Structures are given as C-alpha cells and as structure tokens.
Amino acid sequence: MEITEVLGYIGALFIGVVLGLIGGGGSILTVPVLVYLMYLNPVTATAYSLFVVGISALVGTISNLRKGLVSIRTAIVFAIPAFIAVYTTRKYIVPAIPDPLFSINEFMITKNIGIMLFFAVIMLLASISMIKNNKNKTTTEAPIKYNYPLIIIEGFVVGILTGLVGAGGGFLIIPALVLLAKLPMKKAVATSLLIIAIKSLIGFIGDVENLKIEWNFLLIFTAISVVGIFIGIYISNFIDGKKLEKGFGGFVLAMGIYILFKELT
C-alpha cells in the first residue's frame, strides 16, 4: 500500500470526524481525497463521494430521528425536486459533458479539469459560509410555513450542484430550510442530513448504471468515514464543534485555492 493510499484512508477518517464534530462540511473534502490521494478520475470520484456522503448523512439522520429533530414533511418537499435533479444530472448530464470542454490558446480545459475547477468554486463558497458562520439564533418552535415555488427551485439547484460535484450541499440547504420553511436552526441542520442522504444515494444510482463501481474499495472507504463520525460525535462531548467551524472553513478555503492553482498550472 502506497503512502498516498494510507493518507487517503486517513482522509476518510478525518472526513467522518469533521462530520461528527460540526454536523456537516466534511463531505466537501471527499472528492479532493479521492482524486489527489486515491488517484481516481473526477467523474468516478464525484460518484463515489455521493455514496460516502449519502451513507454518512444517513447515519446522522438515524440519530436525529431518535431525538425528534427531523421535519419529515419538509424533507420530502425539498428532497423530491432535489433527487430528481441529482439523478438526472448523474445519469444524463455528466456523461453528456463534452471532452474537451474548450481551449484557450494552447491550454485545453478537459472535462476532468472543468469538474475540478467547478468543484473548487463550490469549496470556496462553502468555506465562506462556514467562516461567516451566521447561525440563526431562533430556537423557539414556530409554525412551519412553506414557500413551495422557491423550495422546489432551490431543491432543483442543489440537486444539480450535488450531481456535478458530489458534495452534500448542506451550506445551501440549511439556509433554505431556515428562510423558506421557517425551521429553527437545530431542525434545519437535522432535516438537511435526511435530504442529503436521500438525494445523494439516489444520485449514486444514476452512476451505478453508467460506471463500473469498485465496491470493495468504496465500502471500506465509507466504513472508515462512518467510524470517524462516531469518533467526532464522541469528541464533541469535550469540544464545541461549532467553535471549530471557522477554522475548518479556513482549511476548506485553502484547499479550494490549491485545487484552482493545481488544475490551472
């Protein structure tokens, strides 16, 4: 086993620990770990990331359901357009992306480079969201009100982004649930995990039909990430994960800049 492969499995553990500590964000590192440490091509990496993210979110959802924090109706309203969009993106749009995309003078932007550049932009947006860390302070229960047209549009947009880059998109879903469904922050975070689990795993089904999946590797990588979640949850008993979120956001920002630099040079 090469040193980069060992680092890749350590990365899987770190992804889970971050998810357990701060409740989200860690999945944004899955694609870089798979591409730069496990040497998978970006299309396969984004597919595998959907599975890892989906299973990890499902583990978190089971815990939240027991605590009564998940708004099932809200999740269904949001998830239906999201999983339709992510399945369509993985099944039809990603395979249809031309390769190469375009060229500038002698520099050619291939399909793989284009996916990684777009992913880097998403990482930068996610990092800004984590660094700003503008949490809704509302903890009181209020009647849930649905802005159906905006929720459907948001669901489609998040689904397409998830399909393209393989990340959960919690940094987009949580604000939408707070603003459009008027959920308190704790419920929004918990409900977003169920939405992420549904759309990620359904999106992955679109890849099963298009790609040859190395199940042994994928299941081992995912299992390590899930172990990391429980480690993160345990550590969160001693450390406030939310206090670490800004620092992790800075790390994601640095990673996004690194990917941009690496892919463009």
Q: What is the DSSP letter of 28?
A: G
Of 239, 162, 233, which is closest to residue 18 (Cα–Cα)? 233
H/E stretch holding 108: strand 107-109
The answer on pLDDT for 132 being more than 60 is yes
Quote the tokens at residue 77.
């309203």
The residue-averaged pLDDT of 121-125 equals 86
Question: What pLDDT score was predicted for residue 37?
Answer: 93
Which pTM value belongs to this model? 0.82
Percentage, residues of the chain above pLDDT 70: 90
Q: d(Cα 224, Cα 204) in Å, to the nearest integer?
A: 19
- Six-digit token pair at 109? 């932007």
Q: Average pLDDT of 163-172?
A: 76
What is the H or E stretch that residue 103 is in? strand 102-104
pLDDT for 241:
63
Q: How confident is the model at residue 189 (pLDDT cuts 50, 70, 90)?
A: confident
User: DSSP 3-state assignment of 109?
Assistant: strand
d(CA 9, CA 263): 23
Mean pLDDT of the chain: 84
pLDDT confidence of residue 137:
47
Q: How far apart are CA 75 and CA 56, in angstroms?
A: 17
Coil, strand or helix: which one is 248?
helix
Helix residue spans in 23-110 (DSSP H): 30-36, 42-66, 72-88, 94-96
pLDDT at 208 over 70: yes
The pLDDT value recorded for residue 257 is 93
Please give the Cα distance from 253 to 249 (Å, whole number): 6
Taking the C-alpha atoms of residue 127 and residue 42, their distance in angstroms, rounded to an integer, is 21
Question: 58, exposed or middle or buried, with CB in 10 Å at 0-12, 13-18, 19+?
Answer: middle
Predicted confidence at residue 10, as pLDDT, reads 94
Pick from 155, 11, 1, 20: nearest CA to 89: 155
Backbone angles phi, psi at 78, to 5 degrees: -80, -40
What per-residue confidence (pLDDT) applies to 221?
Answer: 96
